Structure 1
Amino acid sequence: MKAFWTYTLARFAVFAVVFAVVWFAAPIFFERTEVVNIFVLLIALVISSIISIFALSGLRARLAADVHARAERMSSRLEESRRAEDVD
């Protein structure tokens, strides 16, 4: 679970930084309106996603390995349960 929280917090941090940069840069090019605010949010989501693909690949790989290991443990426990029921 630690890898999940680390990756999630890193994604939020990347988004927050990108959002702040785009938020402060937007008035240079556009007037601040509701539509511009929505576009700032969407642009920040897209840019932070692209950055996360490359910058957080190590954390994502660690998270995938943890999820895979957990699935393997659950599968082995389930298989042991089935074997124990078949012994009766």
Structure 2
Amino acid sequence: MSPFLRYTLARLGFFLVAFVVVGLVSSIWLEWNSVTGLWIALIALAISAVASFILLGRMRDEVAMSMKARADKMHARYEAARSAEDVD
């Protein structure tokens, strides 16, 4: 599994857990409606963003390294094609 997909799934998991927890806690005091759902989603998004920033640093670095390696490989192929074009 690619590092990007693992990181994305981890972020989605953090959001879902935060959404469920915030939803359960808020259901004690609030009735569920579309506005409440939107606020719960926004609060869960903020919580999951902070949690992933703190807890997923190593995964984020792996994603950055794999993206850099892919970009370097694409750049090398581009340069090879460009230099071959110049020779013709």
Which TM-score band applies after superposition, normalised by the shorter structure? over 0.9
Counterpart of 1:3, as a letter, is P
C-alpha distance after superposition, 1:16-58 (max 9, x if no partner): 1111100100022323332211111110011101111111111
Are 1:9 and 2:16 matched, yes or no?
Answer: no
Query: How large is the Cα RMSD of the aligned pairs?
Result: 1.2
Are 1:46 and 2:66 matched, yes or no?
Answer: no
Counterpart of 1:72, as a letter, is D
Alignment match, 2:68: 68
| C-alpha distance in structure 2 between counterparts of 1:35 and 1:72, whole Å | 46
More helix by share: 1
Provide the secondary structure at the position in 2 that maps to 1:28.
coil
Structure 2, unmatched stretches of 5+, are: none
Q: Percent identity?
A: 42
Structure 1, unmatched stretches of 5+, are: none
Q: Which moved more, 1:44-53 or 1:33-42?
A: 33-42
Q: Which runs of 4+ in 1 moved over 4 A?
A: none
C-alpha distance after superposition, 1:41-81 (max 9, x if no partner): 11001110111111111111100110011000000110011
